[in-house]
């Protein structure tokens, strides 16, 4: 199961390269597995009725231009944890893990990655990259979308925006989902990844 179901679900009720098309090779299988997780997971935001009606998510077409080679700079080892605001007014404990810098939309962009700190240590082997962009509230969910990466992270890491996904609260408001912090609000349109959900909820 992917991070969004396996690790964001406990929040309920509190909860590349630009020219390298190989990043698209496994995209269809990745999306199919995510959709299967939503239908079978006990932590899914979909109730019985939504599962019966589910006809798949909507996506932008895969675009290798949104597989970007990002440089990664780790945060200081003594970086303090903080409470990240969630859409429902609650907060979640995170720490800044580091920053990615990359070219996209004709300019240098930056996104901060965060490690969730209220999980058991063995479950903290990934980082969340919540972000907003100029598609929000139009083609995509108004609150923004997420990327996640598992450790280890190298000095150069591929960020694949074709795998950007909606927070669970896009489907059920009972989930506590982090709001992308100001430093992760891109001033470009990221026309890749998951679109706004068109189903009933």
CA dihedral 3, 147, 149, 100 (to 10 degrees): -160
Look at residue 199 in the predicted model and tell me its pLDDT: 61
**pTM (two decimals):** 0.88
Residue 9, preceding bond cis, omega within 30 degrees? no
pLDDT confidence tier of residue 96, bands split at 50, 70 and 90: very high
User: Contact at 8 Å (CB) between 57 and 195?
Assistant: yes
Look at residue 49 in the predicted model and tell me its pLDDT: 79
**For 36-40, 73-77, 90-94, which range has the lowest pLDDT when averaged over its residues?**
36-40
Look at residue 71 in the predicted model and tell me its pLDDT: 98
CA 176/CA 187 separation, integer angstroms = 25
Q: Output the average pLDDT for the chain.
A: 88
Would you list the domain boundaries of the chain? 3-184
117-166 pLDDT, tens digit per residue, is 999 999 999 999 999 999 999 999 999 999 999 999 999 999 999 999 99
Annotate 112-162 with DSSP letters as a single string: EEEEE-SS-GGG--EEEEEEB-TTBTTTB-TT-EEEEEESP--SEEEEEGG
pLDDT more than 70, % of the chain: 88
Look at residue 3 in the predicted model and tell me its pLDDT: 52
Look at residue 21 in the predicted model and tell me its pLDDT: 63
User: Would you say residue 56 has pLDDT above 90?
Assistant: no
């Amino acid at each position: 199961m992917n991070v969004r179901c396996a690790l964001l679900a406990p929040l309920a009720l509190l909860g590349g390269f630009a020219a390298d098309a190989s990043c698209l090779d496994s995209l269809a299988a990745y999306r199919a597995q995510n959709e299967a997780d939503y239908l079978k997971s006990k932590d899914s935001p979909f109730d019985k009725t939504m599962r019966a009606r589910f006809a798949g998510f909507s996506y932008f077409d895969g675009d290798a231009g949104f597989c970007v080679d990002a440089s990664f700079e780790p945060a200081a080892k003594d970086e303090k944890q903080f409470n990240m605001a969630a859409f429902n007014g609650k907060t979640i404990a995170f720490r800044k893990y580091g920053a990615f810098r990359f070219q996209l939309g004709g300019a240098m962009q930056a996104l901060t990655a965060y490690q969730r700190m209220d999980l058991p240590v063995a479950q903290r082997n990934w980082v969340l990259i919540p972000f907003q962009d100029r598609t929000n509230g139009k083609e995509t969910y108004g609150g923004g979308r997420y990327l996640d990466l598992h450790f280890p992270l190298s000095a150069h890491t591929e960020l694949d925006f074709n795998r950007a996904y909606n927070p669970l609260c896009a489907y059920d408001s009972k989930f506590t989902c982090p709001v992308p912090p100001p430093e992760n609000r891109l001033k470009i349109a990221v026309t890749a990844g998951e679109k706004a959900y068109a189903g009933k909820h």
